[in-house]
Structure 1
Amino acid sequence: MDNVRLQQLTEQLSADLFGRPFLHQAFFNNRLKTTGGRYMLESHNIEINIKYYDEYGLEELKGIIKHELCHYHLHIEGKGYKHRDRDFKELMKKVDAPRYCTPLVKSRSSKQIRVLIYRCKNCEAVYSRRRKVNTEKYVCGKCKGKLKFIEEVKKTLT
């Protein structure tokens, strides 16, 4: 699917479900990470995360477009377009738009971080930090002894 087909699909869903035309632009935004789509208040454009189409297909994409069109039409009409507004909740129910999109499987993958291990030369207390510690400036919090860098460890967050 490309931006031209997305625009056509958005215009079609707007006419069929809302009975109103979609007069702005709908396009894919590859930089979206945590959301399926985004309605832009100032430009009235709709941005869609293409990863949802790639992973879940056309039905998930239609759900995201319906959700964003709810924001669009309510904002254009001057009604409550935010998630907490009654107008928004009623319109979502009317057009059967999802409140949330399905989480991406690929986004749940584990993330690698580095952990730096320091040890006090005096009392042998161990400190693990993500950021580098200036051992000339900082000392042990327990005995005020000098710190020594031990190792860098890679940890996996899930």
Structure 2
Amino acid sequence: MAAAKAQQQGHSLIEALLALAIWMLGMSGLFSLQAKTLQQSRDIEQLAAIEQAASELIAMAQTMPAQEWKHFQESGYDDHLDGAATCLSGCSAQQRAAFQLWRFKQSLRSGRGAQEAIRAAVCRSDGKQAPSLASDGCGGSGPLGIRVAWRSRNGKAWHEQSRVWPLSP
């Protein structure tokens, strides 16, 4: 009887290892959930920054007369990337539009890593092709729009997203 009682008094090494394994499994689940939540938060933050920049460009364009909107049209992603217009006063509509487009693209680039690759263009398209990082989809005769493509992380892989905001007076 004393031998049976001695066996029941403590925990065995196997029980302790089993409890540790269960605890580690639970913790890894929590860490995985935390990582996914942080990534979703980053994606939402990125989309909010893109939407804010597009909204500011739309608001600025709407302050100009409709006949001056043609100055916002770009030929593709690489327009207005470098150097702002140097006009301080008495600017032409073309200079104001060039400055606003440069400012828009700078706001998309600020604080972003090279892998996130946000690209944007204000152009006309036929609406059949969504923008991608490889192609802006410009060249149609449809309505003027702000076309943005970007890359965000999905787990360990990157995936592309895109959106088009109409730009009309």
TM-score by length of 1: 0.24
More helix by share: 2
Higher relative contact order (CA 8 A, sep 6+): 2
